[in-house]
Amino acid sequence: MTQHTSPVPTVDTPLVRLAVDRGIATVTLDSPGNRNALSARLRSQLSEALAQAMADDSVRGVVLTGTGSVFCAGADLKEAGAALRGEPVVPAPGMPELFEQIMGAPKPVVAALNGAARAGGIGLVAAADIALAPKSATFAFTEVRLGLVPAIISVPVAARMHSRQLSRYFLTGELFDATAAAKSGLITQAVPDREMVHALDAVLEGLRGAAPRALSRTKELLGELGAGAIAGPEQRSEALGRMGELSAEFFASADAEEGRAAFFDKRQPRWVP
């Protein structure tokens, strides 16, 4: 497929860019001057780019990345201060809407970090289904050191990080590296910097090879299996019953028939979007 770029509505120079290539939409935060901070304009353009990617039938998955040395520095503190002083605020989606847009999306989102992430930027990382970061990347929940509470980002972050590390890094605001982030569950993999392209390609080839409907339903399934979803024998029995029905539904689908035929014919499957 020839690469094409979709314009994101903007008053000025775009702060978010969207490009589609071979079934993968790449959404790039492009505001390096303020370390890709989550200003109202950037949030609006990010939301629009994600919506366009999800509405594109040719797209199997989405990569979320950034330009410059920082993936995302979190909230735009200058803008937040101006709002508190009563200055006009540009209407824009809030962080809860963005997190829900990513976590509830019908297609997988892969965060491919280009550098450091802080505060709300880490929320974007946690909201993604898969997250890869170069080993040189650093992370910090800086809220407590700014007199703030990491409240909104706690929803996606707590779903990823192990509780002991979550407590430590939330309460201290200390810096931690990509290796520690991977051990904590925050990211999927800490990758040697020079190998990021290859690591991302491996993930994307997996998404490109998947049946679109099965891929979407599997992402939904992962959400259903969140923390505490199967807490006891009764919930387990009920979940197994639902999963049996879901398995039978997809075993009988046209996609599964095509997948079996491709396997026995030793060819690539021809999925219908």
Euclidean distance between CA atoms 245 and 142, whole angstroms: 45
Are the C-beta atoms of residues 129 and 109 closer than 8 Å to each other? Answer: yes
Known catalytic membership, residue 48: no
Percent of the chain with pLDDT over 70: 92
The residue ranges of every structural domain in the chain are 4-208, 212-265
Catalytic one of 143, 174, 234, 238: 143
Place of tokens 């410059």: 68
| Burial tier of 240 (Cβ tally within 10 Å: 0-12, 13-18, 19+) | exposed
Percent of the chain with pLDDT over 90: 68
* Eight-state DSSP code of residue 136: T
Euclidean distance between CA atoms 177 and 161, whole angstroms: 14
Residue 250: per-residue pLDDT: 81
Residue 44, pLDDT above cutoff 90: yes
Place of tokens 């398995």: 247
Beta-strand relationship, 109-112 and 130-134: parallel
Are the C-beta atoms of residues 144 and 170 closer than 8 Å to each other? Answer: yes
Residue 11: per-residue pLDDT: 58
Any idea which of 67-71, 234-238, 253-257 has the lowest mean pLDDT?
A: 234-238
Q: How far apart are the first and last CA of the chain?
A: 15
CB pairs under 8 A, 24+ apart, for 227-233?
A: 227/159
The better pLDDT of the pair 114, 266 is held by 114
When pLDDT is cut at 50, 70 and 90, the band that residue 172 belongs to is very high
Euclidean distance between CA atoms 101 and 15, whole angstroms: 18
Residue 9, pLDDT above cutoff 70: no
Residue range 195-251, pLDDT digits in tens? 999 999 999 999 999 999 999 999 999 988 765 555 567 776 777 677 778 778 887
Q: Provide mean pLDDT across the span 80-101.
A: 85
Q: Which superfamily does CATH assign the domain made up of 4-208 to?
A: 2-enoyl-CoA Hydratase; Chain A, domain 1 (3.90.226.10)
Residue 89: per-residue pLDDT: 77
Residue range 104-141, pLDDT digits in tens? 999 999 999 999 999 999 999 999 999 999 999 999 99
Residue 53, pLDDT above cutoff 80: yes
Residue at 162: amino acid letter? H
User: What mean pLDDT value characterizes the chain?
Assistant: 89
Residue 229: per-residue pLDDT: 57
Note the pTM of the prediction, 2 decimals. Answer: 0.88
Euclidean distance between CA atoms 32 and 15, whole angstroms: 9
Residue 263: per-residue pLDDT: 79
